[in-house]
Each structure stands twice: as C-alpha cells, then as structure tokens.
Structure 1
C-alpha cells in the first residue's frame, strides 16, 4: 500500500470522532483596509463574527530589541486622536464570546532579517516572548500568530540556522504560553519547493496549536506565463511528477501530511483575492500563456497584479469578460482583451474544502476577509465566499447578515443593506444617486426571478454619494444637491 494512503487511512481511523461542526474557520483581517475608499473601506464594525471561529488581527511588528510594536500607531492606538483599533477589535467578543481573537506579528512587508536576528539571540528572543504576552494580556487576545516570511529566505541574516532557531523560538513560546492558557499559531509557506527551505515540520508541529498553510500565490503576476493563484489539482500534461512537488492544493496537503504535520493542526489557507496578468498576445489567452507582467488593479486595493473578490465580482457584472473554468485545476479564470485574471469563486472554494476534508484536517484559513464581498453588493448575502466555506465545512450559520447591520448607527462605516425600496425604480444594474438625500445611494441588482431590485446603502461617516465617480466622497467633492 502507498505510504501516503496508509497515513491517511490511519488518520481517518484515529480522528473519526471529530465532526464537521468542530472544524475551524480562521479569518485573517487586514487592518489597512480602514484606509480604503468608498465600498472598499473595511473597519472592525464590518466583521461578521459568526462566520469565523478565529479572527487574526494583522499585523504588528518588532523592533531591533525584539519588542512587539505597532506598525501603525494611529490605527492601533487611541493616542493623538488615533483610531484605537486594537481595543475595538477585542470588543468583537461582545458579539460572539466563543470567537478566538489572535494577534499576528510579521507579514510580508516586515521581511525576514529582524526575525532571523531575534530567533537567533536568546536575550532578544526572550524579550519578544515577554512583550508578546504583555500586549496579548493588556488587550485580551487569545493568542499569537507568527507570520515570519520566511525563515532561511529573503533577507534572512542567519540562513539555514533559521530553521532550528524558529523551532527553538516556538518551543520557548509554547512553554510560556502554556502558563497563561494562550494559543500559538503560525502562517507558513505551502509548496515543497519553499516550505522545505524554511521549516522542520515535525519539530514545529509539536509546539503550534494551528498551522496555517498559505496555499495561494502559487502563480504570481511577475511570472512569465499566466497561472492559477490556488489550483486544486495540477493541469493535465504528459509530465509525470510527484504530487508533493506540485504547486497545487492537493500537492500541498500531501507534502505537509507526509512530513509529519498532524491533520488536527493543519489549517488549509485559501484566497479571497485573485491575481491579474497582462497577456503578451491577445490571441494566446489560456493558462500558461505568455505574460508581460502584472495586470489591472482593483479600485480599492490599488495594486497592479492583485484584485479582491469584492472588486472583481463588480467588474464581472458590469463589464464584458470571458469567464472560463479549468476542469483540471477546478478553478475559474477570466479574460478581457489582454487582461487575464486567476481567481476563486464559491464553487472552486467549495471543491477545495471538500477535497481537504477527506484528510480530516482541522479547518480552513481565509486570506483575507476584507476582500470578500463583505457588503453583499454582488450577492443577496454578505461574505458569499466565506459563507460558502462555512457551508462546505458543515458549520451552521445564519443565511443573512447578523452582525453589525442591526446594531450599527448611521455614523459607522458599515453601510447597512435594507429591504428593497418600492419607490425607486431601477433602469439597469449598477449604482444610482438617491434623489431624496445625499448620504445614501441605491444599488440595483437582479433578483432570482430576473427583476431589477434596488438596495439602499449608506455612506460611512459624513460622506456623500458621488455619482460621477461611483463612490462615497467628501461633501464638497461629491456634487450632490438633493
């Protein structure tokens, strides 16, 4: 019997008592979305706590002494009229006492050098652990997520020594966290070609409660050819290759499980964003077509080569795109002239969840909730992708938004959706000014029966709807005279 099949069989027998209702949904929250414009603006008030078992606040960093510090004091703290985001985040417990709130340290922009030095130096390592516990306890977090990107890669200072140093860091964190009943997780590279350079998987698995495997960015816009962000399977070809060497979700699962990661700790990370490419030749537009680099950006994320699902779903509704589905990789992609986008929808995410469940993994991680259609602009419900993952995991959730919309006042940043307005008549799908007043606007969508239905939305704060630019704007720039 194939050794991997034997491992999987034993795992299923040993953990047969774990039910679907106990599966985790780990939601990463990109705090920088508070600075986005219009419908892309995302604050703590927008978080639906019923859709996540764990919510991860990203990111804090460290200084040269290893002390955990804010990367954006104005956002995180109340000083100098700051937004006091850390305190607001902890109040999510008032909505759902069962949700676990995790503080993340690191991230791509932090690089590797500071963490390489910290993990290699006992005194600095101790300071990191002490300061982590202090800030966790000060605000009331449930644990810490280490997002060192990546040991022994990038601008690492100590190279291969990072692998053992990372393990030692986690060991010492575990010893101190156990004294306080704190959770410890890490976000880790997914595919073998990268993960094998950074981790002693059996060793780190001893000390982590959850291992969030980032199974996306498998093809990136700087590649010379188009490719899928997060394919479930490899594409059909005549090349024989081991699954664990593949840039695919099935390959990631095989590699991590074979290396000794306990399935009850493995969290499969899936994307709520897509990658965009610029085709070299409009006639050659399939998977693997020649690319000239990063493609279009979304209006809110404003980064060439990247687009949130909340941005993409509007494009696909309002513009002419050729939407294709890769039957081998089980993911969609979209083409418009020289524009090429790899993304995930509810169907592709569901397929990945169902595939992963056969290995009885602990759950799914989502990067990141502020790029889902969190306002329900393209769907009847908010967070359609996050909801699809919950449903695929067998979690019981409400069929409509339950958090924020009923408790938020008009001054909060969540524009509440209300019942269709009979007095307003839609001429076509899209956004329309409210002729009665400036702080709200209509979004016309097609119902299941095909009829156009208006939804009334509200601008955050004191902003007015700007019909020309299709966003909430400052009153003196919105040109609204209702």
Structure 2
C-alpha cells in the first residue's frame, strides 16, 4: 500500500556531467525517470529512458538525493534524507542515526500491528496473485513480480507482468476527478507516463481499477504512525520518509538555485485536488492539495500537516486613526464584526514607569464604547446596563476621564458578533519605553498590574503586546532586551493567570513578532513560545522603499534579490520560528490590507526614487487597498507568481505598488491550511473597506477558510475597477540591474534597508552582452555594471545563470548560442542544456511534462508562464 507523502519539491542545481551511469541504476528495463546513482553516497542521480541511463547529474553541494535505484526522488536537505545507496541500509549521510533507527523501528512495529509484512519481506497477495514487498524507507508496498500459474514462485526475469501492474491505482488527469474519467494509467507514479502535458499523476483512483489488492486496505491505520507524521509536520526532525512531489517522480532539476524550496501551487491546474492517504484517510483528516508545481525558488521544503483539520482564528487590527478618514467611513457601526474572531484595538501606549494609556482622548472612548450619551434618562452609572466608563487618556489615575456612552462601540458590537476584543499595546511609534519597563522587576510588575486593571475596566478579553522590537536601537533598544523581553512576558502571563483564577476564565496573551531574521535573533523565541498563547507574525513590510530595488511587500516565498540572508518571506519567517520549536498551531500569519509603493518604477528588481507619495500622497506612499483599487483604472496589474502577490504600474508616469489582492490573500490562507497553522492577523480592518461597501480581502480570507478547496486563481481585483480586465502575469525580473543612470557613490547611502545592513545584496552578475531590463533606456550603450564594480558584494552566482536572455543566432536550434556560458533552452524549450563558451556540456535534460525552460529565470516553468518559449 502506498503511503503517499506529498511534500514540496526542493530547488535543484544541475551541474551536468558527461559521465554515464551504470544501466543497473535504472532498476528495470521499463523505468523512465530519475533514479539514485549507485555508489555515489547519494550525491548523484541519473535520468533513465526506458531503462537506459541517458545522463548523470550531481546534487547541489550540501544536498543529497532522497530516492533509490529505479525509484525516483529529489535532491533535498541532508537532514531530510536517509541515503539508500545500492542495496544496503545506506550511509544515512546527513541524518541522525538514532532518529532514523527509531523511525524504522516504529515503522516495523506499525507493519506488524497492521498486518503489513516485515520490512523487505515478500508476501503473496491471494486476491491479485502478485508478490509484494514492504519498503520501510519509502513507505511503499511495491509490486515485485507475479506468482507463477502453478502457485510456485515465478522468479525468472521472463515472468510476465501481472494483470494488475498498477496496484496503487495511479491515473492521469488534470484532477483526481478528471483522472477517474480518463482512466489513463501512470503506473510509475510519474508525470512522464501521462501523454497529455497538462495532466498530473494521481494515486488511488480506485474507480479506474479492476481489482484492488487486499494487502492495500486501510488496516494500517494506527496512532503510532499518525504521531510520526504529525511530528514531521511540526518539526525539522530527521526521518526516513521520502520527500517527493507526491508521485515518486521529481520535478526536473532547475538550474542555479540559491537553496531548495517548497512546492509552489499552480492554481491553473486544479490546486484543489487532494492527496488520498490510505493510512490517514478518515473523516477527520485534513488533506493537503496535490497538483503540478511551478518551479521552486529559494526556500526549504516542508512536510504538510496531515492531522485533523484545525479551525482558524482571524484577528483584525482596528487602527483608531482610520476613524477620521473618509468621513468616518470605518466607524464601528459600519463594520461586520462577524467576519473576525478577535479585534485588536491599536494602540494603547506605556510610559517608562509601566503605566498604560490611550493615544487619542477623543477617538478612543467613542470607538470602544460608542458615542457620548448626553440624555440623563438613559445614563446608567452602576449595575446591569451600565454605560458609564472611564477612558485612560493619560498615564495617571487623575487623567482617566469618565462619561456615559451609547454602547454602540467596538467592544459591544464585536462581542455581540461573537468576537473577542483585546488592546494592542505598543506599535511602531510607541515602543521606545518598553526597554526601560522590562529592565527592572518593579517596572515589569507595574506594567503587568496595569494590564489586569485595563482588562477589568474596559472588559477586554486578553492582552496583545506589540513591542517593535526588543534590542532595536532606533527604538531605544539595548542588548539586555533579549532576556528582559522574556521576563516581561512572564510577568504579564503570571498576572493574567491570577486574574483568571479570580474570574473563573482564561485571559490569553499574544504578541506581534518580527519576521526579519535580524530581529528574530534578538528575542528568545524558544522561551517566549511557552508564555504566549499565539504568536502573531508580522509577515509584511518585508520589502519597501527602504530597499535599493523594487520588491514585494509580503512575499509568500523569497523573492531572491536585495536580501543578504534568506527567509525574507512568509514561508521563511514560518520556518525560522519552527526551527525554534514553535508549534505551528500557535502561529498566526500576517495579511496586509495595504501595499508598498516605488516612485517611477515599472517592474520588479528596478532602481526607484523612493516611496510613491505622488500617486499615493494620502497614504504617504503606503496605500490602503481601497486607495489602490481607486487607482487601478490608471494602472496595469500583474500577478507576481514567484512571490504569489500582485503589483500594479501606472500607465502614464510609472510608479509601482506591491500589494495583496484577493488571490494573494487566498494563497496565504491555503499555505496556513497546508501547515496546520492557527490563523491570521489583518493589518488593518479598514484597508479593504471599499467605497461601495465591498470587503474583498477579508471575504477571500473567510471563503478559503470555509472552503479549503476554493480555487484561489478564480479571485482577483474588482473587475469594475480595472482599465484592462485581461489577467497579466509579471514578466521575469531582469537578470542584471541597470545601473547606468545611478551614481555608484550614492548607492552606499544609509536608507534603512530591511536587511539591517548599510548596503543590500544586489544580484548583478556581469553579462556577456548588456541586457535591457524593463523600464530601462535601451538607447544607453554603457556596459552593465557588475556589483563589484560599484562596491556592492555580489551574490556568488556570477556565471551560473544565463548571461542574458538575448543571444546571437544559432545554426542548430538545439546548440548553444555562440560564446554563451550558462544554461540555455532547446528549440522547443522542452529541454535545457549547459553551455561552456558556446559548446554543449553533457546532454540535454528534459523539463517535466507541462513545463518549458525559461532562460530568463533558468528554471523549468509552467508553459503558460513562458511566453513565446522565453525568446
């Protein structure tokens, strides 16, 4: 029985070799696909065509091939690999032998308890008449050979394949349902078996099967293996479970990666088809999606969560200053609080002594409790129906102002809709006093006591801390903040627990936490994770006008430029906290209802002139989504597939804004579903309140939560707001940066780059011929500057990517361009080659069916995303 473990594919670097591998590496005369290169210590793999080795390839340095002889596989992180080199137990290179042994022992026990054979033990299935053996390392019960007609063992190589040579019921289609209609088998589990390039290979399409071996029943369901799988989904522990793309055939190795990456779902090819898991398939199991994949980028793979479906919590931040905008359009009475599970009121602030008070003595009380009630007959000072409240307008008791209110504010309306309300204390401009408070026991205790009083007097449901950021010098931070932050949260937690004991209920403590790697390392994540009920990751503001080049506000995956370090992305941030031991069930992802703009820019990876406060002057260059929608009639919009976000460019004057549309929001919900995460935090509620009353972003959030099978690709910006309703995918970023109009001496000027360094990393390799990125002056004949020329360190990939997507003509369309060094595509882009000074090195490598090689990104991408075959 196949235990199909869908995993995201790692990004692969191909260093082609001219040496051929032994034919035995293919395993069988009929095998087509990738396989382990024997005697290579799992550092190499081969490509087989009908049992014949056509090429041999090395995994990128630091990665190992997670597969076997004739079994398929991928190159991935060593800790994810149990090396199965040849027929022995393998070297387990890069693995923890104790963990591997424990996992194998668990699988052996599981096999015995569920009626499966012992590891590698052959057995005869009476119903199908086939021999099988159970492979504990791939978790596959594999067909070995047919039984002889007379009941004797048919071991000869001439034995015919049994009638049921597809025991796992693999069939081709655009979805599982579509596969059930066609019933075209793909017995190897590989896309290579499917004739239609748009089809994937789906397992357990039982309706197409004439018989199902008895040994592949659901008898293997047990808690022990469930525990193993769920532990994998919530940790980076070593395991011998194969990481694959869900069909035992890897994505084609994509040249020149930075690091391996997760699978990126292709929403054009049924992203909602689910993986059938024969051991975990029951009513309560939440199954991740399975579909063909886009090329991976610069992120580590992850094991999808496969436990019971987890409810999601949606937190909406209400920013008090937005009340004044658009003639109080975002008044609490105009908000449907049923779309949120919790409202975080932003902000309250602390003074240095640990006192807490509001930020707007006029807005705060009316927003929280409703309009002032001046009618004497309706004023209730005490008891049931009391509408007399005291607003904390200053840090001292004498500055608390009391009045009667109509009870139509956030607290009453949100709770009536079933949502909690909590104060968020701090924020970007109000964090300077936290270091002083946290530095002393007296300060921490005073602050914690005031948190308790705030809850009691306002009827809040808990406390949210928004300290931006511990040890951040610009906000009075000190190195001692790292430890003091933990003590600070501990004091609050202790105070809330005492309040809970007195009130007979629990009061949660949450915190807004950074995603920048330089900020994360300044807090003791491994300790605060146990003090916080939820960790609210601010997975936005990852790139903006502070970067030298245009970039993505909230990228799902690393965009791959301007970053000195990895993980400036939603996925990267999640992985960082996961490595500190944070339970994914406690993490909330940030959803930005706003964008980041760049003046004069027309595409990604371009030099710009700062935030576009000309076109978006009302928001000082960081427009709310409703203001972006208002501007779309003068803009062209693009889906940036690499980061799963949207951007738009002004048609006349230039100017770019990176933002999340409904599809991008839906994609983030899908990601959280795949990982079994807790929920989301929205910054901020008024952002998607369009003038016509629509709220497309929060509606997309809830729609995907309510229906995990919702196809995110069906969502987009409001059509009525667009001047051009055609759906555009963003062109590839230029391989090099056009510095011709930039004074190199100005590039090192301090601009507050997001990576915390004086000068960001700029991928600007020296091209053979100058390329002309989008928006540049094609008439400029000055050579493209290498990053070293202008004093900026290069990213270490010079010479590994195509010099330029434009090259001289070739006499043979499947030859390299003259003098070209790097990767290049075949004439039909279904294959790619490595060129050295215009000569092909090694053999042409195929792209996975349904993909074409894009020379601008040096990867195999879905055909729809490779216009004109990248020429």
Give the alignment's TM-score, normalised by structure 2. Answer: 0.41
Q: Choose 330-339 or 87-96, whichever is displaced more.
A: 87-96
1:136 equivalenced with 2:473 (yes/no): no
Q: How many Å apart are 1:214 and its aligned residue?
A: 0.3
Matched residue, 1:326:
640
Q: Quick one: distance in 2 between partners of 1:46 and 1:191?
A: 35
1:352-391 aligned within 5 A: 352-374=668-690, 376-377=692-693, 382-391=694-703
Q: 1:50 to 1:246 in 2, by over 3 A?
A: same
C-alpha contact (below 8 Å) 2:542/2:554 kept by paired residues: yes
C-alpha contact (below 8 Å) 2:230/2:306 kept by paired residues: no
Structure 1 outlier segments of 4+, above 6 Å: 4-8, 12-15, 79-87, 239-242
Q: How many Å apart are 1:394 and its aligned residue?
A: 2.4
Q: How many Å apart are 1:204 and its aligned residue?
A: 0.6
Q: How many Å apart are 1:99 and its aligned residue?
A: 1.3
Identify the structure with the greater helix proportion. Answer: 1
C-alpha contact (below 8 Å) 2:309/2:676 kept by paired residues: no
Q: Choose 210-219 or 150-159, whichever is displaced more.
A: 150-159
Matched residue, 2:497:
178
What are the superposed Cα offsets for residues 209-266 of structure 1, whole Å, 9 maximum, x if unpaired?
Answer: 11100000011223222111011122368x9998xx2211111111111121111111
1:213 equivalenced with 2:537 (yes/no): yes
Instruction: Look up the SS of the partner of 2:610 in the other structure.
Output: strand
Q: Which runs of 5+ in 2 are unaligned?
A: 1-65, 67-76, 82-228, 236-279, 286-304, 366-371, 373-390, 392-400, 501-505, 709-718, 726-871
- Number of residue pairs matched? 381
Matched residue, 1:454:
none
C-alpha contact (below 8 Å) 2:539/2:591 kept by paired residues: yes
1:152-301 aligned within 5 A: 152-157=471-476, 159-179=478-498, 180=500, 181-197=506-522, 199-235=523-559, 245-279=566-600, 285-296=602-613
Matched residue, 1:455:
none
Q: Quick one: distance in 2 between partners of 1:302 and 1:135?
A: 34
Instruction: Look up the SS of the partner of 1:50 in the other structure.
Output: helix
Q: Quick one: distance in 1 between partners of 2:405 and 2:539?
A: 32
Q: Quick one: distance in 2 between partners of 1:95 and 1:355?
A: 31
Aligned counterpart for 1:19 among listed residues 309, 317, 342:
309
Q: Quick one: distance in 2 between partners of 1:147 and 1:34?
A: 21
Aligned counterpart for 1:63 among listed residues 322, 326, 351:
351
1:149 equivalenced with 2:461 (yes/no): no
Q: How many Å apart are 1:188 and its aligned residue?
A: 0.8
Q: 1:157 to 1:33 in 2, by over 3 A?
A: closer
Q: Quick one: distance in 1 between partners of 2:560 and 2:430?
A: 38
Instruction: Look up the SS of the partner of 2:474 in the other structure.
Output: coil
Q: Which has the larger radius of gyration?
A: 2
C-alpha contact (below 8 Å) 1:119/1:169 kept by paired residues: yes
Instruction: Look up the SS of the partner of 1:108 in the other structure.
Output: coil
Q: 1:154 to 1:85 in 2, by over 3 A?
A: farther
1:75 equivalenced with 2:363 (yes/no): yes
What are the superposed Cα offsets for residues 256-312 of structure 1, whole Å, 9 maximum, x if unpaired?
Answer: 111211111110112000011102xx6xx221111110103677x823221001111
Aligned counterpart for 2:430 among listed residues 84, 106, 110:
110
C-alpha contact (below 8 Å) 1:102/1:142 kept by paired residues: yes
What are the superposed Cα offsets for residues 91-125 of structure 1, whole Å, 9 maximum, x if unpaired?
Answer: 024532x311111100111133x100001111121
Matched residue, 1:416:
none
Q: Quick one: distance in 1 between partners of 2:707 and 2:422?
A: 21
Q: Quick one: distance in 1 between partners of 2:700 and 2:606?
A: 30
Aligned counterpart for 2:412 among listed residues 85, 91, 94:
91
Q: 1:94 to 1:218 in 2, by over 3 A?
A: closer
Instruction: Look up the SS of the partner of 1:291 in the other structure.
Output: coil
Matched residue, 2:753:
none
Give the alignment's TM-score, normalised by structure 1. Answer: 0.72
Q: 1:164 to 1:72 in 2, by over 3 A?
A: same
Higher RCO structure (Cα 8 Å, ≥6 apart): 1
Q: Quick one: distance in 2 between partners of 1:104 and 1:84?
A: 22
C-alpha contact (below 8 Å) 2:462/2:508 kept by paired residues: yes
Q: Quick one: distance in 1 between partners of 2:618 and 2:420?
A: 31
C-alpha contact (below 8 Å) 2:316/2:343 kept by paired residues: yes
Q: How many Å apart are 1:47 and its aligned residue?
A: 2.4
Instruction: Look up the SS of the partner of 2:619 in the other structure.
Output: coil
Q: 1:445 to 1:269 in 2, by over 3 A?
A: closer
Matched residue, 1:347:
663
C-alpha contact (below 8 Å) 1:230/1:271 kept by paired residues: yes
